[in-house]
Structure 1
């Protein structure tokens, strides 16, 4: 009997909350994976503009030289004679991106659900801005320009990674902006802003700096790519802030409308007792 009673006991609030979080996480992850797939497919549509991509690469190199920031080959020269440094750069480029991306989103959904929509919106907005740039400005990455002294360290030491990223799905001529840097910058901002653990916040502040160095040291991006990657993330954050303001304005307007409805219902006919009024649907709140 006791076991039957326990089996019929309603779920605890904690269990219901965990189930709700898991359902939300599964739904959000499925949504973001679908968005990532769409992003990858659309990004790949511009991969046939090879000549333009190489012309733009030469323009980027000339532009960086004019600003005095064309330091990619010099920085690569610091690690090419040290296998451990090459392995470290390759490893962070590969494992410091998607694993960090997924784990951070899961953490936001599970532990910071109120803040999660803000960062999701910033992520999606920055991705949309990046697709526009990919479409109008194809760019060959440094690793394709060996005659300038660039070295593809991943192809040398981790060729399996290149084989896994098939050109069928990955546009190899979409170096600008660098979302390897931009999105890690966004996730690092989330770690610093939302974590209560000092070590985690320090890591969050360090990750974008390491990724900036890594994308250059591996020959995958120019310095300008990282700058533009940071710019699209800032623009994405701006969109997220705008969305939050609109949501707050709507919430305030809905609260004011509810207060007016309640006041009208309590007032009743003039000079008489208050007659309970039937609440009519607030059509302005239907979205």
Structure 2
């Protein structure tokens, strides 16, 4: 039975894995559309600062903790704030890309699911960026926060007047946090290790970094979480079917089929 099961898994994965070239072109195309779309609102400076005042006032009205408390912790030492700035500048895209590559190679059905979720969240974020430009807290004098990237380095942004490569008025929602949370959820769903919940440290660290470096408000992460929740509710986690000799099929839980004792128990039960 084990040999047949492994063959079924291999066949299912082979069928589920989409063509590599198509996926590379698709992901690259989505990224270019998103980058171009962000540039459409890069000049809405006045509206972005008015929205920033509204967000800041709303956070105080609902008694959210001040972003300054997190930044104060990071400013205890130059090394700590430099690490936070480096994390913000270098982890976001590579971590998400590595996540997708690993799923494509090892969990192709989950890869398609994760790619769809990320695309949906990113598209929704682009709509918000177009309709609600928002200056980050590092630009808003009322916050009393400093631009840690500019002061301590490294920084991924230049002056808003001369930086034509990024839209600095696209703070809400925070895709830094939304993507990090999806990476953690995707790996928790797609693996069976008892330590897989440690992946939640990635979005937790990301949240502390984006707030402490004054690149995002708490509400930016809250809105990103809500968007991701909606996408996950609409785009269902893939469920696998294992074929057994002469017994039809049985639907397995959405977790990925690692070669573990849990998998063996499910498959043996299917054959009884």
Match of 1:93 in 2: 88
Match of 2:174 among 175, 178, 183: 178
Q: In structure 2, what is the equivalent of residue 139 of structure 1?
A: 134
- Give SS of 1:170's match: coil
Counterparts of 2:202 and 2:63, CA distance in 1: 25
- Tell me the equivalent position of 1:264: none
Which residue pairs with 2:215 in the alignment?
Answer: 220
Normalising by structure 2, we get a TM-score of 0.76
Structure 2 counterparts to residues 146-161 of structure 1, below 5 A: 146-159=141-154, 161=156
- 1 or 2, which has the higher helix percentage? 1
Distance 1:159 1:214, change over 3 A: closer
Report the aligned-residue RMSD.
2.8
Q: Distance in 2 between matches of 1:160 and 1:180?
A: 15
Task: Give unpaired runs (5+ residues) of structure 2.
Answer: 1-13, 240-272
Cα gap change, 1:119 to 1:21, in 2 (>3 Å): closer
1:24 aligns with 2:16: no
Count of residues in Structure 1 that have an aligned counterpart in Structure 2: 227
Residue 167 of structure 1 deviates from its aligned partner by: 3.1
Superimposed CA distance per residue, residues 144-198 of structure 1 (whole angstroms, 9 cap, x where no aligned partner):
1245311111112224532599732311101000010001101110111112344
User: Paired residue for 2:265?
Assistant: none
Q: Distance in 1 between matches of 2:152 and 2:25?
A: 33
Q: 1:235-254 maps to which residues of 2 (within 5 A)?
A: 235-241=230-236
- Which consecutive residues of structure 1, in runs of 5 or more, have no partner in the other structure? 1-18, 246-287
Residues 92-111 of structure 1 mapped to structure 2, 5 A cutoff: 92-111=87-106
Measure how far apart 1:223 and its partner are.
Answer: 0.3
User: Which deviations, in whole Å up to 9, do the C-alpha atoms of 1:186-223 show, x marking residues without a partner?
Assistant: 11101111123444x13312111111111001110000
After the TM superposition, list the runs of 4 or more consecutive aligned residues in structure 1 that deviate by more than 6 angstroms. 19-23
User: Is 1:62 paired with 2:57?
Assistant: yes
TM-score (norm 1): 0.72
- In 2, distance between residues paired with 1:116 and 1:159? 32
Report which of the two structures shows the higher radius of gyration computed on alpha carbons.
Answer: 1
